[in-house]
Every structure is written in structure tokens, then in C-alpha cells.
Copies of this chain bind each other. A is one copy, B any other.
């Protein structure tokens, strides 16, 4: 996506630039863990104790690998990240697409080692939160654990939705749901819900949705023929969210 952007006019894409997705520490996932501390901008001392300075990751760079010892929780400030698990014979399944403002890695709390891998899809900036320090602080402030429980249960809800999608939806429904999901997430972040860059390749999208890369292409082409979307490489414009929503809900042919 980084490359694709370079040819587009700045004005058109201002709203979807990584820069526009950059969140301050207050806005990003870290804050959700800080809020129960009663921390406001004044008390940054405690925050400093647990948050390591932000790191920059390049496209393709790993934030962490599955199996690796669990040392940090990651809060995305800009960019996007895919997480995935793999079979022992090498096939992988992307289990999550994470964008700015979200927390990553909490699933490792139990096993104490990462259960999935995470890779930046584009230049990405993330705060690393040292878990040992987090635990120290959390021992004094129970609200933090409570918040972690809450964040993890949100993860479970998203996972359940993806299972429903993988198990029970047609290819068409999957792609429509994917696009609508992205649209809604961008809207939450006050970005355009109708015009955005998809940071994943067709191959990744296919993997994520349990489809072949070619199927994704063909469906995008069909959606475009039907006037539902306009596709220019990874820039996607939703022209008929209403109908797309129907497709995603399975009311496509009914």
C-alpha cells in the first residue's frame, strides 16, 4: 500500500495516510490500561514505568513470533498488523487484522508465550508495554486486570465472528463482511468509511477469509461490475454500503 499511495494525489488520500492514523498515547490502547489507574496527563510517571518508547516496524517486519517468550504487549499507534497461526506443515491462517489504537499480544497472558505471530503490513509504529512491569503495577491496581479481561473478551467476540464467517458464509458474504468491517472500523476512527486503503494483499485477504487469492480478485471484479465498489489496486471505494451490508448478512439472494 505504501507504494500505491505515492502516485495518488495527496488531497485524495490525506484521510487515509498513516499519519492520519497516528494516535497519541492517550488515544491508543495503552490508555485503556492506564485509565483504571486514574492516570490523567499529569501522572505520566507510572505510565513511563510500563511503556517503553515506541518502535517503528517496516512492512513485513515481525512484532513477535509464535512460541517466543511473552515479554511485551503492543499498542498500535499507526499502521496495521496482521496476526496469524500456522499448521506444522506450513500453512498459515491469518487470525486478525489490527489497526491503530488496538492492543496486541494479550492472548499470550496464559501460556506466557505468544500463540500467534504478528507482522507489520505497512510502516507501523507501536508502543511496547513490558508485561513484568505491567504486572507489578497491576498488583497494586486491580482495575488493570479488569480492563485486560475486558479487552480479551472483545478479542474473543471478534474471533467468534471470524469463525462464523469461515464456517458458515459464502465467499461473497465473506468479502462483503470484510469490506463492511473495515468500513466500520475506519468510521469509528473518524476516517472515511467509503474510501480507504486496504493494507493487506489479495493473497492475505484470501487467507484471512478462507478463500483463494483468485476468488478474492474475481469477487472484487464482480462487485465492481455491479456498482457496489470501485477498486484501484488497494484503494477501495464503497459505492453502495447498504447493498453491501445486505450481502454480508446473507440477504444477497434471498
Contacts and interface: CB of A to CB of B under 8 A. Distances in A.
A167 interface: yes
Given A87-B249, A138-B142, A109 B149 contact: yes
A235 B158 CA distance: 34
A160 interface: yes
A221 interface: no
A19 B153 CA distance: 32
Given A87-B250, A110-B151, A154-B110, A92 B160 contact: no
B163 A85 contact: yes
What is the total number of copies of this protein in its complex?
Answer: 2
Interface centre among A116, A148, A156, by most chain B C-beta atoms within 10 angstroms, is: A156
Interface string A193-218: 00000000000000101100000000
A77 to B, nearest CB: 23
Nearest to A66: B160
A93 B152 contact: no
A157 interface: yes
A254 interface: yes
Contacts of A254: 89
Interface of A: 85-89, 91-93, 95, 106-111, 115-116, 138-139, 142, 145-146, 148-157, 159-164, 166-169, 207, 209-210, 249-251, 254
Contact of A207 (B93, B142, B162, B167): B167
Contact of A249 (B89, B107, B115, B164): B89
Given A145-B146, A166-B167, 14 more contacts: A85-B163, A87-B168, A87-B250, A89-B254, A93-B160, A93-B164, A107-B156, A110-B152, A111-B153, A111-B157, A115-B156, A138-B142, A138-B146, A155-B156
